[in-house]
Structure 1
Amino acid sequence: MAAENAGIVPRTPGLAYIGLVLTPLFWAGNAVIARGTVDSIPPLSMSFWRWVIALCILLPFGLPGVWRHRQVIRQHLGSMLALATFSVAAFNSLLYYAALTTTATNIALINSTIPIFVALLAWLLLGDRTRPLQALGIGLAILGIVTVVAQGDLSVLLNLQAQPGDLIMVAAVASWGLFSVLLRRQAVPLPPLTFLTTQILLGSGVLFPFYLADLLFFSGGFSWSGDTALPLLYFAIFPGILAYGFWNYGVQQIGPAKAAIFMYLVPVFASVLASVFLDEALGAAHLIGGALILSGLLLATRVGRRPPV
Structure 2
Amino acid sequence: MNPLLATLGGKLTERWLNSLVLGALFLAATAVGATLGHRHWLDVDRLRTTLDDLAARPALDRTGTAALLVALVLLTATAASLAAQFLGSGIERCWLRFGRDPLSRARTARRAHRWRQKDAKLTRAIEHAHRVGAGPGDAGTSANDALARVQALTEARDRIALREPARPTWYGDRMQAAADRVEAAYGVNLAVLWPRLWLILPEPAVRRLQSARDSFTAAARLAAWAVGCASVARSRARTALEALAELAELIEAAVDVHGRELATRIGLMSPDAPGRLAQDTGDAMSAVFRKAE
**TM-score grouping bracket, smaller chain normalisation:** under 0.3
TM-score, normalization by structure 2: 0.22
- Which structure has more relative contact order (CA 8 Å, sep 6+)? It is 1
TM-score, normalization by structure 1: 0.21
Larger radius of gyration, structure 1 or 2?
2
